[in-house]
Amino acid sequence: MPNVVFISPKGGAGKTTAAVVLALGLAARGRRVALIDSDPNKPLVNWGALPGRVSTISIHPAPTVSDIRDAAREASRRNPDWVILDTEGTERGTAVLAALRFDIALTPLAGSQLDLREAIKAAEIVGAFGRRGGRPIAHRALLTRVPAAIRPRMLKSVVAQLHEAGVQILPTPLLEKEAFRALFHIGGGFDSLERHGVWGADAARQNSEAYIADVEDLVRDAARPTASREARIV
Ligand SMILES: Nc1ncnc2c1ncn2[C@@H]1O[C@H](COP(=O)(O)OP(=O)(O)O)[C@@H](O)[C@H]1O
Ligand SMILES: [Mg+2]
């Protein structure tokens, strides 16, 4: 059962959106998903209270770090195939790493210099935690809010600087789409958006499918014994 954490010391980076989009995509592929909401503002709990709730996604609030283990226990009673944890965008949010065992950590960032610094910080925190705990967590930056039509120069520079800092990037970026924002006022998933006539819902769904395939690849890769991973690189 893969455990995924969305982590970034920066608020507004796109964590909650990326967590919900991942949960929806996995649910559409027939997986049972438990979402743990460890942001005290409870964005996932609020999304789940809207109409159109997806029955195979359960949502478990953990308003403080000390609630996370209880929320994870409650989540495991639903026999999920995946557990996804959304954190608050502060340095305190990164304390969740100590509370649960994670296979992969994703740090969303928009193509801006401010987000870049915070994403590198997140990669360092996750890396240091893995080294201390002796169990590495696969970490990837996830570019998000990327304009669909043009690739601005700023974004290219951000990608280059991530590479330079040794931060690996998930291949598919999430695009800047009104449909991703609309999930949080309409509720449910892309079907609900289509029923409400939200423009671009289908393009958002297609973008999300490529992103989910990347996350599944990453989980598969992280599960491989180190020896075979090294062999692949050679
Ligand atoms: N891919 C996207 N396209 C359009 N808007 C987005 C996208 N990702 C995030 N947003 C918007 O950006 C804001 C911050 O996103 P959110 O997921 O709440 O970030 P975080 O959880 O890191 O604070 C929200 O208003 C959200 O609707
Ligand atoms: Mg959030």
* Per-residue pLDDT tens over the stretch 139-175: 999 999 998 877 778 888 999 999 999 999 999 999 9
Q: 231 pLDDT band (50/70/90 cuts)?
A: very low
Question: What single letter denotes the amino acid at residue 176?
Answer: E
Q: Phi-psi category of 109—alpha, beta or left, where left has phi over 0 and alpha has psi -120 to 50? A: beta
Q: Which pair of tokens denotes residue 134?
A: 């002796």
pLDDT at 134: 64
Identify residue 59 by its one-letter amino acid code: I
Per-residue confidence (pLDDT) for residue 38, from 0 to 100: 94
The sign of the dihedral angle between the CA atoms of 50, 80, 56, 28 is positive
Q: Is 89 in the pocket of ligand 1 (CB under 6 A)?
A: yes
How far is CA 12 from each of CA 21, 77, 107, rounded to the nearest angstrom? 16, 31, 12
* Nearest-angstrom CA–CA distance, 187 and 11: 22
The amino acid that residue 60 corresponds to is H
Beta-bridge partner residues of 86 = 6, 37
Mean pLDDT of the chain: 91
Confidence of residue 224 (pLDDT cuts 50, 70, 90): confident
Pocket probe mutation, ligand 1, options 17, 22, 35, max atoms within 8 Å of Cβ: 17
- 3-233: CATH class: alpha beta
